[in-house]
Amino acid sequence: MNSLLFEFTGWLGYLSRPVVLVQCLSAGALLAFFQLVVRPRLRQGGRRLALVGTVGLLLALRLNAALLEWLGQPAGLALYFMRMYAIWLFLAFLHEALVLRFPIRGVDRLFNQLVRPLYVLLVAGSLVNQLDSLEDVADIPLLPVFGDTITTGNLFLLLTIPYFLVAISAYPVSWLARLLQGLLHFSDGTREATTLVLRYLLIGVGVLWLMHRVGLNTNAIAAIAGGLSVGIGFGIKEVFSNFISGLWLLFEGSVRPGEILFIDGDPCEVRSLGLRAAVLWRDRDNAELVIPNQDFFTTTTVTYTGTDRLRRSQLDVSAAYRHDPAQVIPLLEEVARQSPRVLSQPPPKALLLSYGDSGIHYGLRYWIEDPMNNGSIKSEVSIAVWKRFAEEGIEMPFPQQVVHQA
């Protein structure tokens, strides 16, 4: 640790030199002027014009370095700032090019999770290399752990590699799962489950490699595992329980991405099954429900996609007593058969349910292909029944009360 503090002190001394301050201040002044004055005006002309305008800043940074060289001053840091900005500008143009061909949400996720963090690491590593030797800094010993010494480089790997394992693993395993789906012809739900299991395996192998890379011996790994087991027992048992529940659900196949579950009376589509919870989408209000995985083991869940996506729906309707049920029942079945989104097989079936106070209650049962469309299809059938009853002169009764004044 003392060696690292000594390195920091040396960097501060280097940065305080006049020739270094001139390079930093000149480049900083150009960046500040562009961000505060030029860029707001360029944005008024659109995003593309703003990107083109940034090329002017790149030229200004290059002229700044050339001016320092012409004056006989060192310009190494000025050129470094120019190169880093050139890379950032290239990434900005690459983002715009990808957006023209691919969905913007996917491109933004790729840049936010992977490209921009890698750029930050590039800037940090190259800056350290400008001030000192990156290899020498990485070999600075920090503290002993289980008989092994953790260096600055090992600590950096322990802090960054897990993030990139989680962020990057989604892309190769997704491509591999799609390849397996094409070869084995399994369903989309199975593909999503395979993707998640492969991702867990990749992250686990990556963590083991990282421990070996930083030099942790088997005793250290066993000690860490023992500490985790104690933590699981006292502090994070719910998280671990949800993780195991998620894996069990994947292998069991009852809750997979793409499945339709009935939650609190509403059909919801499973969007993803994560380490801790499942994310479900509710169509009626475009809401996402986050449900812990273990809840599916402790509560009864109704699914409409366990074997297929067919669902039987029912419309309740009443007709006045003066109408013969032998006339009403075939009429209801005919209306359902003529509805474009009602399946012909199994055929619609109308039933007399009960005799009410004001009329006879009927139930029209029919089958639909997608449970998520039940609400809109039921509305279509209800409107069709209303119009057909009006055409045939069939009355829909409503409760009436007669008040007698004594």
In DSSP notation, 31-100 reads: HHHIIIIIHHHHHTT-HHHHHHHHHHHHHHHHHHHHHHHHTT---HHHHHHHHHHHHHHHHHHHHHHHHT
Question: Cα angle at 193 between 189 and 194, to 5 degrees?
Answer: 115
Q: Is 269 helix (H, G, I), strand (E, B) or coil?
A: strand
Q: How far apart are CA 42 and CA 33, in angstroms?
A: 13
- Quote the tokens at residue 245: 């529940």
Residue of 338, 363, 198, 189 whose CA lies nearest to 260: 189
**375 near 284, Cβ under 8 Å?**
yes
Q: How far apart are CA 365 and CA 293, in angstroms?
A: 34
Distance of CA 225 to the CA centre of its chain: 30
**272 near 256, Cβ under 8 Å?**
no
**315 near 385, Cβ under 8 Å?**
yes
The one-character DSSP state at 115 is I
Residue of 377, 323, 319, 373 whose CA lies nearest to 348: 377
Q: Could you tell me which residues come within 8 angstroms of residue 287 by beta carbon, excluding any fewer than 6 positions away?
A: 281
Q: Is 73 helix (H, G, I), strand (E, B) or coil?
A: coil
Distance of CA 312 to the CA centre of its chain: 32
pTM of the model: 0.57
Residue 351, strand partner residues: 363
**110 near 94, Cβ under 8 Å?**
no
Q: How far apart are CA 136 and CA 168, in angstroms?
A: 29
Residue 350, strand partner residues: 364
Give the strand pairing for 277-282 and 302-303.
Answer: unpaired
What integer pLDDT is reported at residue 227 of this predicted model?
61
Domains identified in the chain and CATH numbers: 1-138 (no CATH), 238-303 (2.30.30.60), 311-392 (3.30.70.100)
Per-residue pLDDT of the chain (406 residues; tens, 9 = 90+): 556 565 656 656 656 677 777 777 887 787 787 777 766 666 665 556 666 667 777 778 788 778 877 877 777 778 888 888 888 888 888 888 888 888 888 888 888 888 888 888 888 888 877 777 777 777 777 766 666 677 777 778 888 888 888 888 878 888 888 888 788 776 666 677 777 778 878 888 888 788 777 776 666 666 666 666 665 555 556 666 777 777 777 666 667 777 788 887 778 888 877 767 888 888 777 888 888 887 877 777 777 665 666 788 888 999 988 888 998 999 999 999 988 888 888 899 999 999 888 889 999 999 988 777 888 889 999 999 999 988 888 888 876 666 666 5
